[in-house]
Amino acid sequence: MAAAGRIYAIGGNTAAGNVATPEAYDPPTNGWSVLASLPAPRNHVAGFGIDDVACVAGGRSPTTARVDCLLLVTGVWARTIPDIPQPASGGSALAFANGDVIIVGGEDANESRIIDQFVYRRAGAWVSAGKMQSPRHGFQLALFGDRAWACGGGSAPGLHPVTTCTSLGDPSASNG
């Protein structure tokens, strides 16, 4: 995810377990820096950046609804955003230019069912925007114009890749 002019790599796993140490890439210096450890290390997170905050939502090992945010000015992790309504791993998140955030998709804790969650953050709370049109997991949202694009992913737990692309507008705006 990107925030405050940097790219952040947060979460993931290796053969040794979940990755706790996030890193930030600074394009002007072409360098990486190590950041404070993620309070609840996990993989398959949905990341989003808002102004000077980098956040991860959901994830697994275990599957959670937790949202952790790194305050980029202080380098401290905080729980400033409420947990997402439904635990999910492998979903995706995106912050629109106006600061609205959407989180969509994922799979359940047993990795046996696709989650069709589609929520957005309004006035500090998560609000349902219905269901994802083409539910899947293992994809990343990309902002193009004023819409979030969800391409690829898996339509069923495990490896069931799809070539589906759908676009999502900001539900709190007129293009939703």
Other CB atoms within 10 A of residue 160 CB: 13
How do beta strands 76-78 and 92-95 pair? unpaired
pLDDT in the model for residue 174? 61
The candidate with the shortest Cα–Cα distance to 108, out of 172, 35, 158, 171, is: 158
Distance (Å, whole) CA 175 – CA 127: 17
Task: Tell me which CATH homologous superfamily contains domain 2-168.
Answer: Kelch-type beta propeller (2.120.10.80)
Cα three-residue angle 136-139-140, rounded to 5 degrees: 135
- List pLDDT tens digits, range 12-44: 999 999 999 999 999 999 999 999 999 999 999
Provide the residue ranges of all domains of the chain, joining segments of one domain with +: 2-168
- List pLDDT tens digits, range 42-98: 999 999 998 899 999 999 999 999 999 999 999 999 999 999 999 999 999 999 988
- List pLDDT tens digits, range 128-140: 999 998 999 999 9
Q: What CA–CA distances, in Å, run from 55 to 3, 81, 83?
A: 10, 9, 11
pTM of the model: 0.93
DSSP states of 121-167:
EETTEEEEEEE-SS--BS--EEEETTEEEEE--BSSSSS-B---EEE
**Which string of b and e fits 54-70 if b means at least 16 CB within 10 Å?**
bbbbbbbeebbbbbbbb
> Helices (DSSP H) in the chain: which residue ranges?
none
